[in-house]
Amino acid sequence: MKSLQTLAASAVLAVSANTLAAPVLPGPETPLQTIIDSLYGCTAVGSSPACSPVSAAPKVNTDQSGAELFQIEASGGSIATMIIQFAGNAGFNSFGIYDSGNTATKLQLFSGGTLQGDTVGVKSNSLNRFRLLGTNTWVQFSSATFGYYLDGPNGTFYSLSSQNNGNTQMVSYRGDGDTIQLPDNASGVWGPSSYILAWEDTSLSNGSDKDYNDMVVYVESVTQVPEPGSLALLGLGLAGLVAVARRKQKTIG
């Protein structure tokens, strides 16, 4: 049964990623593909290894992970690193996490004017409370599951598309073991519990250029949580696989 669950879960995540894929356009500024490619191709320096070749970089339109909701891993801590901002509203946009069950509950990570390479840490505990590392002010969430948000003059946008009236304002890319170099950091492995989140700060329903380079952030030590629709699909998939397995057993018997 465990193998059936694994198979069904993998299928759901694959379907979810394809369903949520949003077309990323070049736009008038540096394209998102160029931004991601720039993290690759570095040479070895001291103990820092050489980066994976640029050809290994994820393709912005075909390698989207579909991740929209997250939980922090067992350590209870996660770091966010600013890669770049190209928005005209860069000095005003803010970024953080929000309670997936109540969008009014938020914890701001970056404020307007955050620079490339700036980092901030988040700590969570068993009571579903979150705080910034280095502070003692906790924010109570309804569960361990959260999303990321971008707030600015054009409104507040959420990583969960259904909370943007169905608009995908953020596209995400999951690490697969490539070696990359983030701004002002040594090169290192981009593992499967780390994501690049790329944002569009104008509603897709209101004149967005859909280049998804208005804010690009690297987050680590988080795992994807399927949204409720995907969980329902998982249930249907499991039911179907169990039914097939039972039919096969009867046939063999």
d(CA 202, CA 92): 13
pLDDT in tens, the chain (253 residues): 444 444 444 444 444 444 458 999 998 889 999 999 999 999 999 999 999 999 999 999 999 999 999 999 999 999 999 999 877 777 889 999 999 999 999 999 999 889 999 999 999 999 999 999 999 999 999 999 999 999 999 999 999 999 999 999 999 999 999 999 999 999 999 999 999 999 999 999 998 999 999 999 999 999 999 986 544 444 444 444 444 444 444 444 5
C-beta neighbour count of 153 within 10 angstroms? 12
Report the interhelical angle of 228-252 vs 2-20 (nearest 10°): 140
**Which distant-in-sequence residues (6+ apart) come within 8 Å of 172 by Cβ?**
64, 65, 66, 67, 68, 159, 195, 196, 197, 198
Question: Residue 87 has what pLDDT?
Answer: 72
Question: Residue 85 has what pLDDT?
Answer: 86
Question: Residue 238 has what pLDDT?
Answer: 40
Residue type at position 159: S
Question: Residue 253 has what pLDDT?
Answer: 53
Question: Residue 20 has what pLDDT?
Answer: 52
| Residue bearing tokens 């600015």 | 152
